[in-house]
Amino acid sequence: MNVEKVESIGEAWRAGALRLREAGVDEADANAELLLAHLLDRDKARLLRDMREPFPADRREAWDRLLARKAAGEPVQYITGSQHFYGRRFDVSAAVLIPRPETELLAEAVLAVADERLGGRTGPLRALDVGTGSGALAVTLAAERPSWQVTASDLSPEALAVARANAARLGAEVAFVQGDLLEPFLAPGQERAFDVLVSNPPYIPSADMPGLQREVREHEPHLALDGGPDGLAPYRRMAAQLGRLPSMPGLVAWEVGIHQAEDAAQLLRDAGDWSEIRFVRDYAGIDRHVLAIR
């Protein structure tokens, strides 16, 4: 079915899905539906309701361009410019990693543990999101706990621009700082202490980068993916930096790659005394998050 000859919205969806399937795109039907909903500015329920409606003639060229981008491997989130995270819509671009569903579990665990173990501390909790990217974690923490003082850092100025825009649009109070991991908070005169430190740093081993899914390998920022020879380089540096902070956080929470949880936990054990270290499994049953609690 040629997209130039479709008559109805339903035909456009079927033709688009077929084109994506022939291009080797996974979940072609779902991707075509997302792109069509974006093109026509309709939610899923309305799109399904209107499948028999005529396809707008003035949208044919735009539809063809969207399908071409997806057929070439571009993530649908970059094409639509958005991704939902913890019930909120975040703007995303090629400057930031696309927020993943498993990272929502990290946000959920941080909120629960902070309430359980740190809630009795005097004054507002001070939280830091290291390598914030789109700002998904920092904005979520600030929106869910407005009394917290949330700071977010990133090495990439382009990523920080995306994160700032998301915080402003979602009404979240977040302070943004450019810099590499904890370095901005260790310089003389700039030392900062935090109660909560959360990070989803790059953790893909360098040798595994060529084998990543095409959408990830060719479109998402390598700065946010490549974690060095064994994927643990950012964790080693952060663990070493923790002791240079004015005081050790009460909670350090990291997202890690497959088979990295125990090694990351050992880095934290070596960095300080903790009353407890927890692992949080993702939807695939993998130990995906490491939480060190004082």
* Cβ–Cβ < 8 Å for 70, 80: no
Considering the domain boundaries, does residue 118 fall inside one?
yes
CA angle 29, 33, 39 (to 5 degrees): 145
On whether both 174 and 273 belong to a single domain, the answer is yes
Looking at the fold, whether 20 and 158 belong to one and the same domain comes out as: no
In a domain, 38, yes or no: yes
User: CB atoms < 10 A from the CB of 38, how many?
Assistant: 16
CA-to-CA distance for 84 and 110, rounded, in angstroms? Answer: 19
The three-state secondary structure class of 240 is helix
* Residue 78 domain flag: no
| Structural domain includes residue 54 | yes
Residues 221-230 have pLDDT tens digits of 998 998 999 9
SS3 225: coil
At which of 29, 47, 72 does a domain end?
A: 72
Residue 77 lies in a domain: no
User: Annotation-wise, does 202 bind a ligand?
Assistant: yes
Final residue of a domain: which of 42, 72, 102?
72
- Domain residues for the domain of 30 are 3-72
Q: Which of 34, 53, 72 is the last residue of a domain?
A: 72
Residue 179 in marked binding region: no
133 labelled ligand-binding: yes
Are residues 168 and 53 both part of a single domain?
Answer: no
Per-residue pLDDT band for 2 (boundaries 50, 70, 90) equals low
pLDDT at 188: 87
Count of domains for the chain: 2
pLDDT at 4 exceeding the cut of 60: no
Is 203 part of any known ligand binding site?
A: yes
Would the annotation count 99 as a binding residue? no
Residue 147 is labelled as binding a ligand: no
Same domain, 94 and 149: yes
Are 27 and 90 found together in one domain?
Answer: no
Residue 177: helix, strand or coil by DSSP? strand
pLDDT in tens, 30-73: 999 999 999 999 988 999 999 999 999 999 999 999 999 999 99
Question: SS3 of 95, please?
Answer: coil
Answer whether residue 1 shows pLDDT above 60: no
β-strands 88-91, 82-85: how paired? antiparallel
Do residue 183 and residue 94 come from a single domain?
yes
Q: What is the DSSP letter of 150?
A: E
Q: What is the CATH number of the domain that holds 33?
A: 1.10.8
Question: Same domain for 221 and 285?
Answer: yes
Task: Based on the fold, state whether residues 118 and 23 are members of the same structural domain.
Answer: no
Same-domain check for residues 52 and 93: no
Based on the fold, state whether residues 97 and 45 are members of the same structural domain: no
Residues 139-156 have a mean pLDDT of: 97
Instruction: Answer for the pair 47, 36: CB distance below 8 angstroms, yes or no.
Output: yes
* pTM for the model: 0.91
Mean confidence (pLDDT) of the chain: 94
The answer to the question of whether 205 is labelled as a binding residue is no
In a domain, 132, yes or no: yes
Q: Is 153 annotated as a binding residue?
A: no
Residue linked to tokens 């084998």: 211
Question: What mean pLDDT do residues 255-266 have?
Answer: 97
Residues 64 and 206 in one domain: no
Q: Do 60 and 89 sit in the same domain of this protein?
A: no
What is the average pLDDT across 125-139? Answer: 98
